[in-house]
Amino acid sequence: MTESPRPITIVIAAMGGEGGGVLTDWVVKAAEHAGFLVQSTSIPGVAQRTGATTYYVEIFPVPIADLDGREPVFALYPAAGDIDVMIASELLEAARAIQNGFVSPNRTALIASTHRVYTIGERSDMADGRLDEERLFDAAQELSKHAVLFDFRRVAEEAGSVLNAVLLGALAATPALPVIKRESFVAAIRGGGKAISSNLAGFEAGFHIEQSAKKQGLALQNRENPKEVGRVERLLQEVKDDPEPVREILGHGVRRLAGYQDLSYARLYLSRVSRVRAVDRTHDNSLIQEAARQLALRMSYEDVVRVAQLKTARKRMQKVRAEIKAAPGEPVRVTEFLKPGIEEVCSLLPGFVARPLLRWASNRGLTDKLHVGVALNTSTVMGFLAIWLLARLRPLRRLGHRFREEQLAIDAWLDQVCGGADRSPELAHQIISCARLIKGYGETHRRGRNNYERIKDSLISPALDGSMPIEESVNKIERAVTAALADPDGVALGDVLVSSGDDVASTVAHAAE
């Protein structure tokens, strides 16, 4: 038995439809071009259908000519701790490779794109189910010998190419594969015969990527401020003594509400915030900050007027065109899918008309059924005019049933926040956080409001009247909010409230399921 060189091992992790197979073929062809024996294998399985797939390549770094007819025994499986190059087309897939032991500090060059393709679990979460990307990123840095972490997808887009070509370029540039020269990779792309020039452009872009330790493109982009109005700025003078983070939120809130309704509504916002300011004894102003944020959102609740405002805003068409990548000069026709129902109509009617109507609909189980589905083409003059006129109903909103209901609910919520702050800042925080349950339209909104009511009745009120210890209620409200966002049917919330024996409604809810 002789001491022999070992194969260079490469794992490629991709998702179905990303071209991992083509990338693997390029690597194989490049190795063959360079005069080496190579083997690849894969488990494409249900590859077309977005599942995670892996490809495994072994290259024997002794020129075929020097082998004297001997052949290495190639393995078909990647082994933990035995991988020279790990290529991942996405950050989570890199993390999966790390979890499988395919990235080791003494050996592996990790080439991974840092963009995210969210899993169905992350996407379908009722609030924010995204994974902690920093953690994945740090693990990638720490466990690899050499890391090339970059938003390769963006690089591909900028180069007018595809992700796999860019990754091939990055592979060609890595020192982990010294035996295969650049020209072999280029020959592999040319030999593929398809989209050669764009693939080569992607390859070039990937080849010249500087190794980057910086995470790309994760920072939130703040939206441009709407056109600033003098009176709004004057109003903001009133809060100039607040610390910067608070002032920033108040600025957003005031501008939002002035646009949503009018200046006096924005003024109402500030006076409501003052109530919390009066009771906030946290050293970092976290109460007022969070309350100001949630309050602005609650006060700008979604209704037809709001939707019409947003859909007719001046910058909207630019955003749409950018989003759908329409070239200059290409006309774009936009169709909106609106389905206003009895609740939406009643929200603008005065209470004495709206309440009986809503009661009637609710008694007959029609709340969900009385809808008019409209597919409205807002690129036409008439279509735009219709929705534009709807936005002009803004002054009427104040007279409507919904406005009144919302203001009462907001004041009640603020009362509880302030009451909670008297007892403990933690309790106030939890009460504030319950507001995140109320969002959306139609059924989503109803569901959120119901969940909020259940938590209020079962936990918040007992905490405020002293019948439940503060610590217990803080803990339970936190769990209840998480549970309310766990499933749309309220099962988890029911379980949490039942397990604490606090929910009278949940037994009924369970029975109804």
For residue 61, state whether it binds other proteins (rule: CB under 8 A). no
Nearest CA-CA partner of 463 in 496, 498, 422, 499: 422
For residue 89, state whether it binds other proteins (rule: CB under 8 A). no
Number of residues engaging other proteins in binding (CB under 8 A)? 137
Burial class (CB in 10 A: 0-12, 13-18, 19+), 363: exposed
Nearer to other proteins by Cβ, of 126 and 505: the residue is 126
* CA angle, 207 then 208 then 212, to 5°: 105
In whole angstroms, the minimum distance from the beta carbon of 222 to other proteins comes to 6
Asked if 437 and 481 count as a contact pair (C-beta separation under 8 A), the reply is: yes
**Segment interacting with other proteins, rule: CB under 8 A, options 51-59, 182-190, 476-484, 502-510:** 51-59
> Taking the CA of residue 4 as centre, how many other CA atoms within 13 Å lie in the half-sphere pointing to its CB?
14
In whole angstroms, the minimum distance from the beta carbon of 10 to other proteins comes to 13
Of residues 389 through 418, those in contact with other proteins by CB under 8 A are 391
Residue position matching structure tokens 């104040």? 398
Q: Quick count: other Cβ atoms within 10 Å of Cβ 161?
A: 23
Three-class DSSP category at 88: strand
Among 88, 143, 288, 348, binds other proteins (CB under 8 A): 143
Of residues 159 through 198, those in contact with other proteins by CB under 8 A are none
In whole angstroms, the minimum distance from the beta carbon of 471 to other proteins comes to 26
For residue 284, state whether it binds other proteins (rule: CB under 8 A). no
Of residues 12 through 41, those in contact with other proteins by CB under 8 A are 15-17, 25, 28, 32, 38-41
Among 104, 114, 161, 458, binds other proteins (CB under 8 A): 104
Asked if 439 and 445 count as a contact pair (C-beta separation under 8 A), the reply is: yes
Q: Long-range contacts: 41-44, Cβ < 8 Å, 24+?
A: 41/76, 44/16
User: H-type helices in 118-262, by residue range?
Assistant: 120-124, 133-143, 152-158, 163-173, 182-192, 196-207, 230-237, 244-260
Query: Which amino acid is present at 493?
Result: L
In whole angstroms, the minimum distance from the beta carbon of 466 to other proteins comes to 32
Burial class (CB in 10 A: 0-12, 13-18, 19+), 283: exposed
In whole angstroms, the minimum distance from the beta carbon of 32 to other proteins comes to 7
Nearer to other proteins by Cβ, of 34 and 468: the residue is 34
For residue 244, state whether it binds other proteins (rule: CB under 8 A). no
Of residues 457 through 486, those in contact with other proteins by CB under 8 A are none
**Segment interacting with other proteins, rule: CB under 8 A, options 50-58, 168-176, 238-246, 495-503:** 50-58
Please state at what angle helix 163-173 crosses helix 182-192, rounded to 10 degrees: 160
Per-residue x/- track, 340-369, other proteins (CB under 8 A): -x--------------------------x-
Nearer to other proteins by Cβ, of 12 and 173: the residue is 12
Among 320, 357, 366, 386, binds other proteins (CB under 8 A): 320
In whole angstroms, the minimum distance from the beta carbon of 480 to other proteins comes to 18
Per-residue x/- track, 299-318, other proteins (CB under 8 A): ---x----x--xxx-x-xx-
**Segment interacting with other proteins, rule: CB under 8 A, options 136-144, 203-211, 271-279, 423-431:** 136-144
Query: Which amino acid is present at 168?
Result: L
**DSSP run (H or E) holding 406:** helix 401-423
